[in-house]
Amino acid sequence: MEKLTLIIHILTGLAIIGMILLQQGKGAEAGASFGSGASQTMLGSAGSWNFFSKITAILATIFFVTSFALAVTAKDRSTLKEGIFPNLEAIQQSAETELPKIDIVDEASDIPK
Residue 60: inside a domain: yes
pLDDT at 103 over 60: yes
Name 113's Cβ contacts closer than 8 Å, sequence gap at least 6: 103, 104, 105, 106
Per the DSSP assignment, residues forming a β-bridge with 112 are 105
Residue 112: inside a domain: no
**Arithmetic mean of pLDDT, 82-91:** 62
Query: How many independent structural domains does the chain possess?
Result: 1
Residue 91: inside a domain: yes
Share of the chain above pLDDT 90, in %: 32
Residue 6: inside a domain: yes
Predicted pLDDT at 77: 78
pLDDT band at 7 (very low <50, low <70, confident <90, very high): very high
Domain residues for the domain of 70 are 2-24+40-98
Which one is predicted more confidently, 45 or 7?
A: 7
First to last CA, the chain: 63
Residue 108: inside a domain: no
Q: Where are the alpha helices (DSSP H) in the chain?
A: 2-22, 47-77, 84-98
**Arithmetic mean of pLDDT, 49-64:** 89
Share of the chain above pLDDT 70, in %: 48
Contact between 59 and 15 (Cβ < 8 Å) = yes
Residue 13: inside a domain: yes
Residue 44: inside a domain: yes
Residue 110: inside a domain: no
> How far apart are the C-alpha atoms of 59 and 65, rounded to whole Å?
10
pLDDT at 63 over 60: yes
